[in-house]
Structure 1
Amino acid sequence: MLKYFKWFWTYWKRTKLALLFITLFTILTIATKISYPLFLKFVIDELSKDYQVDHAYKLVFFFLLLSLVREILWEALPLLRATMNGLYTAWMRNNYFQTLTKKANSFFIKFKTGDLITRLTDDLDGSWVRICWYSCSGIFRPLEAILILSFSLSVMFSYSVKLTFFTFLPLPLLVYIMHKLEEKILRYTDEKQKSISRCNNILEACFSGIKVVKTTLSEQYQYQQYQNAIADRINKEKKFLKVNQLVHFFTMMVNHFGTVVVILIGSFYVSKGEITLGTLLMFLMYLKNLIDPIYTLSFFWASSKQIFQYVERLMNIDETQCNLSDGDMGEKLDEFKELEFKNVSFKYEDVQESILKSISFKIQKGEKIAIMGAVGCGKTTLLELISRNLVPTGGEMLVNSLPMENISRNSFLKYLGHVRQENILFSESIRRNIVLGDDFMEESISDAVKNSLLEKEIKSFQKGIDTLVGAKGSLLSGGQKQRLAIARTIIRKPQLLLMDDCTASMDAQTESDFWKQFNENHQNCCSIIVTHRVSTAKQADRILLMSDGTLKEINLPNLEHVWSEVRLQETEI
């Protein structure tokens, strides 16, 4: 339990004064609440002795004033707590969003997108019994309950020890029931959240690949998958709700049993003259006030088990060691001169054989090399190693003769451009997809659009460069997406450019025009081009063939013959 409160403390310590104010405000609010039955007892006992109109008016006036103050404070307290809940939620969500953006690719292999969305939404504030609620309201409600119980019991004991004792006689039974239900609460909470994550995963996968779903007429299959996930979620939710309602039922039954005891035994004491009618009424009001605190404490116990499961799911994100190296740690680069691989190997987790084996090559500024190879042979993995999204399992990568791991990641990435095989676009305008929040001059944006051969298409759009591209660029063709991704990269004037099959969706003429523009405007750029097209490979100074995890150089006259053999092997497989 302590480790979970340490996790909360990272946020609580930022608002210590605010939490102190809420604590003092809670004490003041509870004081007015507790004084209410005591003052009512005084009014009834006073009026039953010797009724005087003036005296009665004064008592009623003060009673109404106390009621007004109590209600104002009682309504203001939840507002203060809710404000803090929202503040903590914003901090938590921002913190974990930043944490996730620093994770390496291997992290996102372990955690699916839908699951991460669930952890940052439903686990935080998907309902009122979530981390957001617990961060302030959840911890102050038991404090409020303890204050009510302690103040109320002090008053009750001062008037009748025996009646107070009978009031709390059923409590040990409640403690026993809570203990028996603890394991089920933990298990059903975890199962419920996992079922929500599964639903989100299916939704994310379906809508991301909706074009494939439509083309293959697999809507019914997707629907069935989602129906199964929903059925499982409903089943898990029912189990959770059953045990949750059991806790509520037994708590309320124990409390109501206490009320019956007070009425029976209290009436007997009034008839014997041991307590006054006002005292019995006070006991009943305190007992009514005590029902909520007792339930709150039992609910705090049960909800803490749930909340700690949610926190555990967020802590898993922190504890999964897939972080990229610290951005500003290491040597700073003034410019890019050369990149060298020395016997570099790489193996994915849970895969026995290395996908890259003893890779060695060297490329200098202004040079272009093309890498060809069968599908799945490791070409993209090689580029991810250069981008520092993956870490080699063997060998050495050198930049300007310095080990890659000794160079500041941010410093290196300033000189790197990477056009990926998958054209990832954001649901914003063409302009924003190019600049990605950076402050570029209009001239630079125009040059990038021109050099990527997008100028003609953009002019045909009604809103020009401010046209929205739709969800993941759905309003653009495959070739337009590729050229937009290229524009986004070359506007940053990289000195080392990685291009992963970036012209695959272009027609022959468009590709020829693109390389002509590229060669004219990026003569000093070092380029590594992964491709399956012979015409693209011929743009390079050197051509490397990847096969069985190794690289070997191909002479240009032999290129078409070698590549035909590679294609033939793919067909046979």
Structure 2
Amino acid sequence: MKGYLRPYIGKLVFIWLVALLGIGASIALPLIGKEVIDGPVAHGDQGALLPLGLLALGVGVLEALLTFLRRWAQVGPVLGLETRIRDDLYRHLQRLPMAFHNEWQSGQLLSRATTDLSAIRRFLGFGMLFLVMNILQLTTVTIVLLNMYWPLGLLVAGSAVPIVVVSLRFEKRYILISRRVQDEQGDLATLVEESAIGIRTIKAFGRRHHVFDSFDDSALKVYGTSMEKVRHSARFFTFLEVIPNFTLALVLLLGALAVGGGDLSLGTLVAFTTLMLQLVWPIASLGYILAMSQEAMTAADRVMEVMDTVPEIQDGADTAREPRGHLRFEGVEYRFPGAESPVLDDLWLEVRPGETVAVVGATGSGKTTLTSLVPRLLDPTGGRVTIDGHDVRELELGSLRQIVATAFEEPTLFSMSVRENLTLGHLDSSEEELDAAIRTAQAQFVYDLPWGLDTRIGEQGMSLSGGQRQRLALARAVLSKPRILVLDDTLSALDVETEALVEEALRRVLRDATGIVVAHRASTVLLADKVALLRGGTITHVGTHHELLEAVPEYRELLAQDADLDPSEGALR
């Protein structure tokens, strides 16, 4: 966090200086009052009363102005700091690989970007400043009190001992409870997000009460831990209220006896008690500030937990110039972290420029993992993937992902307009290019939406059918005009008639690009120049569709599951 504070050092020094002057002004007022009581009031000197009164008024106005100036000056740095951390956190999340996002709950990441950063901002904007101010005020006032009348000063200083001891015990316990609350809030946020995204499934299966019970259990868990945190805080805060008030009562009692015995002047006692009252708020607020500091420290640990994660997929240094799209998988292995056996093992495959290869395999054979290696959503744990002879790990990620475009079986659409969703991969697209991509994907339905391309679709595109979402994802991939187009079973949700129209348009697109098509349907296989059969984590056969139909029984069985194939004839109807 030190690096984030560096740009604001100048402003922070100014804020501290103003705060110190404000403390000085607040201490000066009781001392002026002492002089008023022991001087003009005690001696009936009306002439000396006015200057001291005006001095007290001036110091009071100065203190008010310094307080306003401090609060005005601290807003910018605090909000700026929170914004910088949030931007860096989001930027870092974008750099982290899919393996990281698969392991982390989205609600935990969301709570770090919102709740945790708010806790850090509150402490930096209020807690840290007042923690230092209160310590300075306590120290300075205690020294002044010792100089004014040391017996009562020792009493005030001695009252700090039990406060320090109890504060240390409170801090250790509070750290643990605070972390539990924040983690449980992240789990609760995950439940809310998943319920919102999966609301159709929940309603379709009539599981509303079951989902609510799960949410209620998590909410009660947060409630229970929060109540434990409140009870722990309440005991500590009560103790902090009792000690200064009890000390003040003793000061008034002993001070009155000292005035009666002539050991202490009335003005000194009034100033002493006034200064003593200035210690009540710093001591009473100590609990709130310590609680705030522990929440901020826990929040900072949770944020840095993400920020300290080193991306496994690092940006390369090379830039592909005039890419041709010659793609090769050379002895590729991929093993998920902690898995005993690899998903892909010693996989070899070559796709020449302008050539399209259909990858066919049983469910769970690793087809999606294979396609994820091309744009480096995953990196192979062995072997390498090359484009035009360059290992993809040596290419800049921005350059690589301009060459490669992917359309997934489960398309992701964002809560923005159709136009914005389509142009994510190519922001400078013209209306003609946009229309061509829409027609290629047979997504002309967008023109019938209430506001056409400017219609805002719901989160995850839930207002659209599965086939419509797939066609928009396909149009987005086509619009980027990639040298390598990866289609991960992108046509699975289309009806037969629409699929035939999309395939006809895709043939024209694939003439100018290198293509990898994950296929489950026999009709989709015909888009490809050749077919690669994926089995046991490796490519076992490569050939044309008709060659594999005739020579490879497993290939024939896989495609026989599709209604378009007559296995007895070994050909498409």
Q: Please classify the TM superposition score into its range, dividing by the shorter chain length.
A: over 0.9
Separation in structure 2 between the aligned mates of residue 335 and residue 515 of structure 1, nearest angstrom? 25
Deviation at 1:276, TM superposition (A): 1.3
- Residues 328-378 of structure 1 deviation map (CA, whole Å, 9 limit, x = unaligned): 523544313311111111111122111111111100110001111222221
* 1:327-406 equivalent positions in 2, closer than 5 A: 329-406=317-394
Aligned residue for 2:499?
Answer: 511
Amino acid in the other structure paired with 2:502: F
Separation in structure 2 between the aligned mates of residue 491 and residue 138 of structure 1, nearest angstrom? 51
Aligned residue for 1:191?
Answer: 180
Percent sequence identity is 24
Aligned residue for 1:203?
Answer: 192
Aligned residue for 2:219?
Answer: 230
SS at the partner of 1:345?
A: strand
C-alpha contact (below 8 Å) 2:486/2:517 kept by paired residues: yes
Query: What stretches of structure 1 of length at least 5 have no aligned partner?
Result: 1-7
Separation in structure 2 between the aligned mates of residue 235 and residue 101 of structure 1, nearest angstrom? 35
Q: 89-98 or 430-439: which moved more? A: 430-439
Deviation at 1:43, TM superposition (A): 1.7
Quickly say closer, same or farther: Cα 1:359–1:389, change in 2 above 3 A.
Answer: same
- Is 1:214 matched up with 2:203? yes
Deviation at 1:50, TM superposition (A): 2.5
- Is 1:141 matched up with 2:134? no
Separation in structure 2 between the aligned mates of residue 67 and residue 414 of structure 1, nearest angstrom? 65
TM-score, with length taken from structure 2: 0.92
Quickly say closer, same or farther: Cα 1:20–1:51, change in 2 above 3 A.
Answer: same
SS at the partner of 1:334?
A: coil
- Is 1:547 matched up with 2:542? no
- Residues 456-483 of structure 1 deviation map (CA, whole Å, 9 limit, x = unaligned): x122223111111112112222111111
C-alpha contact (below 8 Å) 1:168/1:258 kept by paired residues: no
Aligned residue for 2:99?
Answer: 106
C-alpha contact (below 8 Å) 2:313/2:379 kept by paired residues: no
SS at the partner of 2:512?
A: coil
C-alpha contact (below 8 Å) 2:163/2:240 kept by paired residues: yes
SS at the partner of 1:40?
A: helix
SS at the partner of 2:487?
A: strand
Deviation at 1:505, TM superposition (A): 1.2
Separation in structure 2 between the aligned mates of residue 297 and residue 241 of structure 1, nearest angstrom? 15
Aligned residues: 557
Separation in structure 2 between the aligned mates of residue 288 and residue 157 of structure 1, nearest angstrom? 15
Q: 375-384 or 246-255: which moved more? A: 246-255
Amino acid in the other structure paired with 1:565: E
Query: What stretches of structure 2 of length at least 5 have no aligned partner?
Result: 563-573
Q: 246-255 or 527-536: which moved more? A: 246-255
C-alpha contact (below 8 Å) 1:374/1:567 kept by paired residues: no
1:533 corresponds to which of 517, 521, 527:
521
- Residues 398-418 of structure 1 deviation map (CA, whole Å, 9 limit, x = unaligned): 221222222222222111101
SS at the partner of 1:498?
A: strand
C-alpha contact (below 8 Å) 2:417/2:457 kept by paired residues: yes
C-alpha contact (below 8 Å) 2:11/2:73 kept by paired residues: no
2:139 corresponds to which of 135, 144, 150:
150
TM-score, with length taken from structure 1: 0.92
C-alpha contact (below 8 Å) 1:102/1:323 kept by paired residues: no
- Residues 212-270 of structure 1 deviation map (CA, whole Å, 9 limit, x = unaligned): 11111111111010000001000010111111222212222221222122111111111
Aligned residue for 1:497?
Answer: 485
Amino acid in the other structure paired with 2:557: E
Aligned residue for 2:432?
Answer: 443
- Is 1:239 matched up with 2:228? yes
Separation in structure 2 between the aligned mates of residue 332 and residue 263 of structure 1, nearest angstrom? 82
C-alpha contact (below 8 Å) 1:427/1:471 kept by paired residues: yes
- Is 1:424 matched up with 2:412? yes
Aligned residue for 2:568?
Answer: none
Aligned residue for 2:253?
Answer: 264
Separation in structure 1 between the aligned mates of residue 356 and residue 199 of structure 2, nearest angstrom? 37
Amino acid in the other structure paired with 2:120: I
* 1:554-565 equivalent positions in 2, closer than 5 A: 555-557=544-546, 558-559=548-549, 562-563=554-555, 565=557
C-alpha contact (below 8 Å) 2:374/2:404 kept by paired residues: no
Q: 39-48 or 352-361: which moved more? A: 39-48
Amino acid in the other structure paired with 1:24: L
Aligned residue for 1:91?
Answer: 84
Q: 441-450 or 362-371: which moved more? A: 441-450
Separation in structure 1 between the aligned mates of residue 296 and residue 199 of structure 2, nearest angstrom? 35
Amino acid in the other structure paired with 1:253: V
Aligned residue for 1:4?
Answer: none
Amino acid in the other structure paired with 2:82: T
- Is 1:314 matched up with 2:303? yes
- After superposition, the CA RMSD in angstroms is 2.1
C-alpha contact (below 8 Å) 1:343/1:396 kept by paired residues: yes
C-alpha contact (below 8 Å) 1:333/1:412 kept by paired residues: no
Separation in structure 1 between the aligned mates of residue 414 and residue 76 of structure 2, nearest angstrom? 32
Separation in structure 2 between the aligned mates of residue 415 and residue 190 of structure 1, nearest angstrom? 44
- Is 1:167 matched up with 2:156? yes
Separation in structure 2 between the aligned mates of residue 286 and residue 52 of structure 1, nearest angstrom? 25
Deviation at 1:428, TM superposition (A): 0.9
Separation in structure 1 between the aligned mates of residue 191 and residue 148 of structure 2, nearest angstrom? 62
SS at the partner of 2:456?
A: coil
Deviation at 1:425, TM superposition (A): 0.4
SS at the partner of 2:4?
A: helix
Deviation at 1:14, TM superposition (A): 1.0
